[in-house]
Amino acid sequence: MRAVDLPTGSSSVTVGLDPLTPDQIVAVARHGAGVALSRDAENAMETTRKVVEALADDVEPHYGVSTGFGALATRHIPVALRAQLQRSLVRSHAAGSGPEVEREVVRALMLLRLSTLATGRTGVRAEAGRTYAAMLTAGITPIVREYGSLGCSGDLAPLAHCALAAMGEGEVRDAAGTLVPAADALAAAGISPLVLAEKEGLALINGTDGMLGMLVLACADLRLLLRTADVAAAMSVEALLGTDAAFAADLQAMRPHPGQADSAANLYALLADSAIMASHRNPSCTRVQDAYSLRCAPQVHGAVRDTLAHAETVAGRELAAAVDNPVVTLDGRVESNGNFHGAPIAYVLDFLAIGVADLASISERRTDRFLDVARNHGLPAFLADDPGVDSGHMIAQYTQAGIVSELKRLAAPASVDSIPSSAMQEDHVSMGWSAARKLRRAVDGLTRVVAIELLTAARAIDLRAPLTPAPATAAVRDGLRAHVAGPGPDRHLAPEIEAAVGYVASGEALAAAESVTGALR
C-alpha cells in the first residue's frame, strides 16, 4: 500500500539521542517531513569521532579504519590511502540492480542510518549526519535498486547508493521527482558533497536500515488494514445473514488472545442495531452456526493482530539499537560485533507475510459465499442484476483469488534462504531485505482483497433492501457510494475495484465506520 507523498519539508523531525518513533519515520519517509540533527547528537558524534581519529596512526590494525573489508580485512591500509579506502568502499558497494526502490523506502533507510549515526556509536563526524539531514529536508532521494542486499553486514548496496549520492556521485531524484546527477541536486540545494574520512564510508553502509524502514511502514499500513478487515467482515456477516452471537465477549475470553478479543469487540460494535440481522433472529431460522469464514473471523484477524504486535515489539527494539561494525563503546573501545545481522527483523517480516496471506484468504472465502446461490441465502447468483445476461461480481472474485494465490507464494520465508558471500567470510546472511520487499507487495495485495470484499458486501447489503444495515456498516456503504454506484446492470468493473481500493487504502472506509462506533481497536 502506498500513500501519496506530501510536499517535502512540510514539518520537521529532530534526530537526537532518543530513538525515533514509528510516527516520525512515517512522517519523514512517506509525508516528506524535514529533518534536523540535535545539538546533543552532534556532541555525541564529535566525542566518539575523536576516538576514531586517535586510531588513525595506530600501528595496530583496526577493522574499517586501517584494514580492508570483509574477506579483505587482513590487508593493512597505509595512512595515505585510508580516505581513498572509504571512497572506494562506497563506490564498489553501490552495486544495486533492477527497478528503482520506492521513494518512501529510500527516505526511511536514510533517516534510520542517520538515527544510528546520531547515537555517537559509529565514530563519524557530525558533518556526515548534517549532510543526510539536509538531503532529506531538501527532498533529494538517491536512486536505490531492487537487488543488492543480502541482509547481513547490513543493507550494503542500498545504503551505499545513498552514501554515494551524499558524496556527489551517482543519480538522485530531486524534490519534484526529476532524475538528476547527485552533484547537481546537492548544488541546487546548497549542500556540499561529503568528503569521507576514516571509517565513515563503512559506517554509512553497515546497517539494517532498509529492512527496518520497510517493517515500520508495513506495520503502519497493517494497523489500518486490520481494522478495515474487521469492517469488511462485519458487512459480510450481516449481508450473509450471519450472527454476532459468536463474537460475545465471554466466549472470546475463554481463549484469551488479546488480538482475538479486539477483533470480536470490533465486529460486535459494527453490527449493533442491524435490522438485517434482527430479521432472522426468530424460530424460523434453522441455522445453528455460521461457516468458519464468518464465525472464526476474530480468531484469524486476531492472530494477525498479535503477530503484528510482536513485529512492532521487534521494530521498537531495533529503533533503539546502534547497528554498525565496528562500534565505539560507551567506555571508548572500538570493537567488532555481529549486530548488523538482520535475522531479528527478517523473521518478523516473514511472519507478517504469513499473517497477511491468511487474512486475505479468509476475506476471499467470505466474498465467494456471496456469489453462490447455494450459500448466499436468497441473493441473486453472483449478485448480478439479471444473472445470465449479467455476471455481477463473478470476476471480481477471480481477481481476489489470483491475489490470494500470489500472497501464499509470498508467504514462503526468505529468512531461511541464507547464501554465503565474500569468500565465505560472510557465510550466513538473513535475506531480510528480500523478506521486506515481498511483504510490501503482500500488503498491497491484502489492501486489494479487503477492498473487493467490502465492495461485494456493500452490494449485497443494498440487495437486502428494504431491510436496513447497522448504522456503522451503513456509513461505510454510503461512503463507498460516493465513489461507486449501487447495484444495477453490469458496468466496467475495474475502475470500481480501484475506487474501492482507494477508499480502503486512504483510511476513508475505516473513518466512516468509526464515525458511528468511535475508535475501533
Which residues are the active-site residues?
63
Alpha carbon separation from 79 to 54, 67, 87, 90, 431 (Å, rounded): 12, 10, 14, 18, 35
Q: Are strands 97-100 and 145-147 parallel, antiparallel or unpaired?
A: antiparallel
Residue partners of 379: CB distance under 8 A and separation at least 6: 239, 370, 373, 460, 463, 464
How is residue 445 written as a grid cell?
A: 495485495
Residue 25: Cβ within 10 Å count:
27
- At 367, list the grid cell: 466474498
Helix (H) or strand (E) holding 147: strand 145-147
In Å, the largest CA–CA distance within the chain is 91
State how far Cα 184 lies from the chain centre. Answer: 31
Measured in degrees and rounded to the nearest 5, phi and psi for residue 399 equal -60, -45
Closest to 138 measured CA to CA, from 195, 204, 185, 196: 185
For residue 340, give the nearest of 428, 416, 412 by alpha carbon: 428
Nearest partner of 231 among 268, 278, 202, judged by Cα: 268
Cβ density class 266-287: b for 16+ within 10 Å, e for less: bbbbbbeebebbeeeeeeeeee
Distance CA 209, CA 457 (A): 40
Q: β-strand 141-142 against 179-181: which pairing, if any?
A: unpaired
Q: Quick one: how far is CA 159 from the chain centroid?
A: 18
Q: How far apart are CA 97 and CA 471, in angstroms?
A: 51
Reduced 3-state DSSP string for 301-340? HHHHHHHHHHHHHHHHHHHCCCCCCCEECCCCCEECCCCC
